[in-house]
Chains A and B, each alone.
Chain A
């Protein structure tokens, strides 16, 4: 089991540039999450997908952020245009099942450290 795979591990970009973060969930997991971690705010949920469908995107900061899941094995988080306050570590996580009646633990990737200058 390769676990959740994220790329790139590090991304340094200039303000105004587009940034795309990528995630491959664990095979067979039907739930996918994007989290952001900062010193000030800790771990925050950005968006949650179930069976490739966005279920809860209330944590997405603003319209500059968008996420897609075109198939069960791939998701992207895009920031356009990026700003210095977007600097954080972005984690993708997947779960075998997540919902009202059944919950399986989230398994996290090792994150993408984004620095926007």
Chain B
């Protein structure tokens, strides 16, 4: 559904540990997914994307996993750093629609 940002779930991790941020999407017809990072006072920053014909994609220190059976998307961040502290959004594009629908976001806090 449409994003609602009133209460953000928070993930707190120790610096150097791996982080896993999860996202459930609603439409089985969605064919393109994007993860964004948003820092305070800035716009969403593109991290990584994945198309529905893939189940895994890796970038620099990040991996996105897509499980279409249960409509679940995850973002894994290796060796989490203080600079990774931000709100992370997953977004889905539904087949035959122009809209990119954003999830409600997860706040990642990295403890030094």
Q: Contact flags (1/0) for A52-69 with B, using CB distance below 8 Å?
A: 000110010000000000
Is the CB–CB distance between A105 and B49 below 8 Å? yes
Interface assignment of B83: CB less than 8 Å from any CB of chain A: no
Alpha-carbon distance between A109 and B45 when the two chains are bound, in angstroms = 9
* A110 and B41 form a contact (CB under 8 A): yes
Interface residues on A, range: 20 to 34
8 A Cβ contacts from A31-88 to B = 33, 37-45, 48, 55-56, 59
Interface residues of A in 77-103 (CB under 8 A from B): 91, 93, 98-100, 103
Q: A55-B98, A100-B96 are in contact. Are A40 and B43 (CB under 8 A)?
A: no
- Whether a CB of chain A sits under 8 angstroms from the CB of B42 is yes
B45 near A108 with CB under 8 A, answer yes
Interface of B is mostly: loop
Cβ of A106 within 8 Å of any chain B Cβ, yes or no, is yes
Contact A108 B43 (CB under 8 A): yes
Closest residue of B by beta carbon distance from A56: B98
Please tell me if the beta carbons of A111 and B43 are within 8 angstroms of each other in the complex: yes
Of A33, A37, A42, most buried by chain B (CB within 10 Å of CB) is A42
Is B3 among interface residues, defined by CB-CB distance under 8 A?
Answer: yes
The answer for the CA separation of A102 and B90 in the assembled complex, in Å, is 19
Closest to B5 in A: A42
Docked CA distance A41–B96 (Å): 24
Q: Which residues of B contact A59 (CB under 8 A)?
A: 99
B6 close to chain A: CB less than 8 A? yes
Name the distance in Å between A77's Cβ and chain B's nearest Cβ.
15
- B44 contact from A38, A43, A56, A99, Cβ within 8 A: A43
A102 to chain B, nearest CB (A): 10
How far, in Å, is A36 (CB) from chain B's closest CB?
11
Find out whether the CB atom of B4 lies under 8 angstroms from the CB atom of A41. yes
Shortest C-beta distance, A114 to chain B (Å), equals: 14
Asked whether, in the complex, the Cβ of A98 is within 8 Å of the Cβ of B4, the reply is no
B88 within 8 A of A: no
What's the nearest-Cβ distance from chain A to residue B56, in Å? Answer: 18
Cross-chain contact A48 with B98 (CB below 8 angstroms): yes
